[in-house]
Structure 1
Amino acid sequence: MRAALWLLALFGIAAAVALFAGNNQGTVTLFWPPTRIDLSLNLVLLALGLLFVVLHLALRALAALFSLPIQARQWRLQQKERALHAALLDAMVQLLAGRFSRARRAAQAALAQERMLAALEAPLPQAPQVRALAHLLAAEAAQSLQDQPGRDAHLHQALQEGDDARAAAGLAPETREGVQLRAARWALEDRDPAASLARLAELPQGAQRRTLALRLRLKAARQAGRPQDALDTARLLAKHRAFSAGAAASILRGLAADLIGQAHDTGQLRQAWARLEPAEREIPEVAIQAAQRMIALGGEPATARAWLLPVWERAVAQPRAMDEGLRIKLARALEASLDTVDADWLARIEAAQRADPRNATLQYLAGMACMRRQLWGKAQQLLAQAGTALQDAELHRRAWSALAELAEMQGDPARAAEAWKQAALGR
């Protein structure tokens, strides 16, 4: 369609020129004494047009001739820029391929190309960022080569270039933040969590809450033995869905257990327990460890039993939700706090045992609770049933040891000796 319109336009122009030129009787007379020259108006117009075209082409040729040095300089600068970008790309590729010496040489070559461009008074628009990236690649290669002095030198230069990039108009501060994050990771690789945390603390508040920064903070806090900071960071990461549900639960469980394990007296243990969130307190491993730690530190058994109550209720309501290993640990933790067992807990244990009469672990726990409450006959019956069915060696030994003590209290040395024998044989 466009070609047809152009063709029609050309026909129209040709018709107009033909009409104008065919009927044009005008002349142009030039007087050059003593000569008179008469020229057709059409010829004069054609000559003027040709003169304009010739002058235009001559001027363009002169402009192209005089611009050759500028074009040659621009071509050389373009080649140097291409060499700079090629060196940066080569440094990245070599670093990814594990050729750290070549990566460092390529990064240094990129820096040399950038200095040449600056010396020619043709700096790149984002020269500080380019230099920072080149220094960062060189520092990364030096870190992989265990060249800490070289790494620190390039790191200092990269941070300085990051400051220059942030000071430049229109450039964001991500350059320096990226360098600081890499420096924090290098400190972790050097097993220096304090330096890593210091680097992370230098970041702006928004950057400190990024997923990468939080991951680094979590690793640094765990290396530094600061479970509370690690737990707070892991909570933020779980909130941001940085982990899968299973991984988040495992990490939170481990950190909560570390926090409980660092308590050296009952006061510290209560403070650590108070810092946990309600969902974390209901984790069976955490509650069991806290209760055992409370008993080991000489704390109140009632407090330990209160911490175990949500776990116990879940184990009773959903027997299949907890594996046998955790049920045994729960029984051991409850047994350790049975010295001052009250009637409510005795009723809970007996109700659970009656609801599942074939569960040897519940039989053992109920028997030990009855023994603490001086219900000798019932305790002997339950422990005897549990002793023949328990699969856990430790619980088996404790059940027969308790039966031996009961036999000695009743003055039956033969039965006591048999019970001690069974306790010694184990499983």
Structure 2
Amino acid sequence: MRAALWLLALFGIAAAVALFAGNNQGTITVFWPPWRVDLSLNLVLLLLVAAFMLLHLALRGLSALFSLPVQARQWRMQQKERALYGALLDALAQLIAGRFSRARKAAQAALMQEKTLDARLPQAQQVRVLSHLLAAESAQALQDRPARDAHLQQALNESVDRNALPAPETREGVQLRAARWALEDRDAPAALARLEELPQGAQRRTLALRLRLKAARLDRRTLEALETARLLAKHRAFSNAAAESIVRGLATELLSSAHDPAQLQSAWGKLEPSEREMPEVAIHGAQRMALLRGDLAIARGWLLPAWTRMVEQPQSVSDSLRVKLARALEAGLDSVDAEWLARIELAQRNNPRDPNLQYLAGMACMKRQLWGKAQQLLTQAGNGMQDAGLYRRSWQALATLAEARDDTDQATVAWKRAAQTETP
């Protein structure tokens, strides 16, 4: 369609020129003494057009001639830029391929190529920083720490060059890599110091938080690691199961770092409500309180959510956690109150076949000198117990009861069953 319109336009122009030139009788007389030259107006117009075209072509030719040195200089610059970027890409490719010596040589070649440029590139600062960073990464892989530190310092110096365009992301990237190298060297304080140099916004990025978590765990800063893990969980940096496992492990480690009951209660207060409701954390806290000879009533309060969960949702608590919960409650049976005794008795009645509840209720009855009921519950627990530790403790308690009754034969059988190392 466009070609047809152009063809019609050309025909129209040709027709207009033919009409104008065909009936044009005008002449132009040029007096050049002693001559007189008469020229047709059409010829004069053609000559003017031809002269204009000739002048235009001449000017274009002169312009092209005088621009040859500039074009040659630009061509040389272009070749050098291509060599620069080629060396930079080669360094990156060699680094990814694990050829670290070649990667460092290519990065150094890129730096040398950048110095030979006659004009300054708009991205010259980033090119130099990335070249130093690639060289430093290669030196780190080769365990050449002096070369790594030298390139790292040059990259940091280049990233704060005031004469270049600001590129904060480039400097932040260098600092993050430096923090990771410090972690690889098992130097947690240096890694944390590098992370502290980042701007506030960059410190909350997922990569920075991951590095902070590793550094804090390596430096035994459990509370800081726990806070970082919470942020990573909110950012969905881990799966739900992984985030829960990490937070649970750090919460348990925080409780383990307490060396007296006051420190333990302070550590417990720093946990979030969802962390306190984790059965593993609550059980560990109660066990730690018993080990430190603290207030066991407080420990039982910590265990209440886990107990309620075990009673109301038996399938949600594993057998190993049931055993640990029973042991944690057993440690405080000497001072247990009537309310907890009622909870234990009610749970055992509602689930009479659970050996862990039978053992716990039997030990509670034994502490209250209810010998007959204690013997009945402990015998049931000993016959059905799967955990070797509770199995042994059940029969030890039965042997003690038998000895209290002067029943030597029953005590011997119970001690023999207790001495067995395998579960029935």
- Quote the Cα distance in structure 1 between the aligned partners of 2:186 and 2:298: 39
Aligned with 2:138 (options 137, 141, 164)? 141
Are residues 1:152 and 2:149 paired? yes
Give the 5 Å matches for 1:2-151: 2-117=2-117, 120=118, 122-151=119-148
Task: Tell me how far 1:158 sits from its aligned partner.
Answer: 0.8
Map of 1:392 onto structure 2: 387
Give the secondary-structure state (helix, strand or coil) at the position aligned to 2:29: strand
- Quote the Cα distance in structure 2 between the aligned partners of 1:172 and 1:81: 21
Aligned with 1:376 (options 367, 371, 378)? 371
1:172-205 superposed Cα distances (whole Å, 9 cap, x missing partner): 4111011101100111000001000000001111
- Quote the Cα distance in structure 2 between the aligned partners of 1:179 and 1:63: 47
Task: Tell me how far 1:416 sits from its aligned partner.
Answer: 2.0
Letter in 2 for 1:57: L
Task: Tell me how far 1:6 sits from its aligned partner.
Answer: 1.4
Deviates more, 1:60-69 or 1:21-30: 21-30
Conservation of the 8 A alpha-carbon contact between 1:404 and 1:416:
yes
Task: Tell me how far 1:217 sits from its aligned partner.
Answer: 0.5
TM-score (norm: length of structure 1): 0.97
Give the secondary-structure state (helix, strand or coil) at the position aligned to 2:116: helix
Map of 1:240 onto structure 2: 235
Conservation of the 8 A alpha-carbon contact between 1:133 and 1:158:
yes
Give the secondary-structure state (helix, strand or coil) at the position aligned to 2:418: helix
Give the secondary-structure state (helix, strand or coil) at the position aligned to 1:241: coil
- Quote the Cα distance in structure 2 between the aligned partners of 1:33 and 1:312: 127
Map of 2:337 onto structure 1: 342
Conservation of the 8 A alpha-carbon contact between 1:132 and 1:162:
yes
- Quote the Cα distance in structure 2 between the aligned partners of 1:391 and 1:243: 35
Map of 1:270 onto structure 2: 265
- Quote the Cα distance in structure 1 between the aligned partners of 2:52 and 2:420: 119
1:186-237 superposed Cα distances (whole Å, 9 cap, x missing partner): 1100000100000000111100011111011001001001110000000001
Conservation of the 8 A alpha-carbon contact between 1:341 and 1:372:
no
- Quote the Cα distance in structure 1 between the aligned partners of 2:49 and 2:410: 133
Conservation of the 8 A alpha-carbon contact between 2:209 and 2:232:
yes
Conservation of the 8 A alpha-carbon contact between 1:184 and 1:196:
yes
Give the secondary-structure state (helix, strand or coil) at the position aligned to 2:160: helix
Give the secondary-structure state (helix, strand or coil) at the position aligned to 2:238: coil
Are residues 1:206 and 2:201 paired? yes
Map of 2:255 onto structure 1: 260
Conservation of the 8 A alpha-carbon contact between 2:159 and 2:167:
no
- Quote the Cα distance in structure 2 between the aligned partners of 1:15 and 1:392: 110
- Quote the Cα distance in structure 1 between the aligned partners of 2:378 and 2:141: 62
- Quote the Cα distance in structure 1 between the aligned partners of 2:257 and 2:103: 44
TM-score (norm: length of structure 2): 0.97
- Quote the Cα distance in structure 2 between the aligned partners of 1:196 and 1:35: 97
- Quote the Cα distance in structure 2 between the aligned partners of 1:33 and 1:352: 135
- Quote the Cα distance in structure 1 between the aligned partners of 2:375 and 2:287: 26
Letter in 2 for 1:223: L
Task: Tell me how far 1:323 sits from its aligned partner.
Answer: 1.2
Residues matched between the structures, number: 422
Unaligned 5+ runs, structure 2: none
Letter in 2 for 1:318: Q
RMSD across aligned positions (CA): 1.2
Are residues 1:162 and 2:156 paired? no
Give the secondary-structure state (helix, strand or coil) at the position aligned to 1:28: strand
Q: Identity over aligned residues, as a percent?
A: 72
Give the secondary-structure state (helix, strand or coil) at the position aligned to 1:155: helix
- Quote the Cα distance in structure 2 between the aligned partners of 1:195 and 1:322: 42
Give the secondary-structure state (helix, strand or coil) at the position aligned to 2:25: coil
Unaligned 5+ runs, structure 1: none
1:318-350 superposed Cα distances (whole Å, 9 cap, x missing partner): 111111111111111111111211111111111
Letter in 1 for 2:132: H
Give the secondary-structure state (helix, strand or coil) at the position aligned to 2:31: strand
Give the 5 Å matches for 1:278-357: 278-357=273-352
Map of 1:217 onto structure 2: 212
Task: Tell me how far 1:168 sits from its aligned partner.
Answer: 3.7
- Quote the Cα distance in structure 1 between the aligned partners of 2:33 and 2:267: 118
- Quote the Cα distance in structure 2 between the aligned partners of 1:79 and 1:93: 21
Conservation of the 8 A alpha-carbon contact between 1:396 and 1:426:
no
